[in-house]
Amino acid sequence: MSRLRLGVLISGRGSNLQALIDACADPGFPAEIVRVVANVPGAAGLDAAARAGIATATVDHKAYPGREPFEAALTAELEAANAQLVCLAGFMRLLTPGFVAHWRDRLVNIHPSLLPAYKGLDTHARALADGVRFTGCTVHFVRPDCDTGPIVIQAAVPVAPDDTPDTLAARVLLSEHRIYPEAIRLIATGRACVEGERVVVSGAGLPDAAVNPKI
């Protein structure tokens, strides 16, 4: 079985990266991580990658005169590793349309809300301020506008009456760690395909939770 070659971009903690590392540790998982690149020197996720024996690089955006040369360096790292799919995992830099076009339909992101609700930052505080009963997380292919693009998978997460942004973030994060590997599996096995501006998942019915409320 040839495995899809993933490049992962991070800015910090790297817990979603760790979830992908754990999934890829299963030889039956249809993808492998070939390079982890951080834009923040010393990002904690770099240590997790190194512990797993994955080649890492730091491309510090502050060392470049603008976004284009910074992104050219990112692409050089990813292409040197022959990455076939680029996964943003807590990567906190806006990307130019040029970078997004270069990696079109080969670039995915995880975002801590049920897109298209709560794009951008402080998603959990805004959800709490609105009094929503459910929020969640989304894995999507990346398009030029921030936090937009064809949706691969989502998970809904209930909001508790006494939630703070931190407690809600922690609950959503558990679902992020579940759906990011699942999204990669769907893409790597060819089950999730971009058609127009939507992702069609072959063989998909209702999400599990809709069929069995106990899940």
Binding site for ligand GAR (CB under 6 A): 12-16, 89-90, 110-112, 147, 173, 176
Nearer of residues 160 and 170 to ligand GAR, judged by Cβ: 170
Residue 175: burial class (beta carbons within 10 Å; 0-12, 13-18, 19+) = middle
In the complex, the smallest distance separating the C-beta of residue 59 from ligand GAR, rounded to whole angstroms, is: 17
Distance of alpha carbon 177 from its chain centroid, rounded?
10
Nearer of residues 110 and 186 to ligand GAR, judged by Cβ: 110
> Closest residue (Cβ) to ligand GAR?
90
Q: Which residues are CB-contacts of 215 (< 8 A; sequence separation ≥ 6)?
A: 208, 209
Give the Cα separation of 182 and 176 in Å (integer).
10
Nearer of residues 32 and 176 to ligand GAR, judged by Cβ: 176
Q: Choosing from 61, 102, 111, 177, which is the catalytic residue?
A: 111
Dig out the tokens for 156 from the structure: 């809904």
In the complex, the smallest distance separating the C-beta of residue 205 from ligand GAR, rounded to whole angstroms, is: 26
Q: Known catalytic residue: 111?
A: yes
Contact 86, 17 (CB under 8 A): no
In the complex, the smallest distance separating the C-beta of residue 65 from ligand GAR, rounded to whole angstroms, is: 25
In the complex, the smallest distance separating the C-beta of residue 12 from ligand GAR, rounded to whole angstroms, is: 5
Question: How many CB atoms within 10 Å of residue 193?
Answer: 14
Give the Cα separation of 86 and 99 in Å (integer).
11
Contact 89, 10 (CB under 8 A): yes
Nearer of residues 21 and 81 to ligand GAR, judged by Cβ: 21
User: So which residues are the catalytic ones?
Assistant: 111
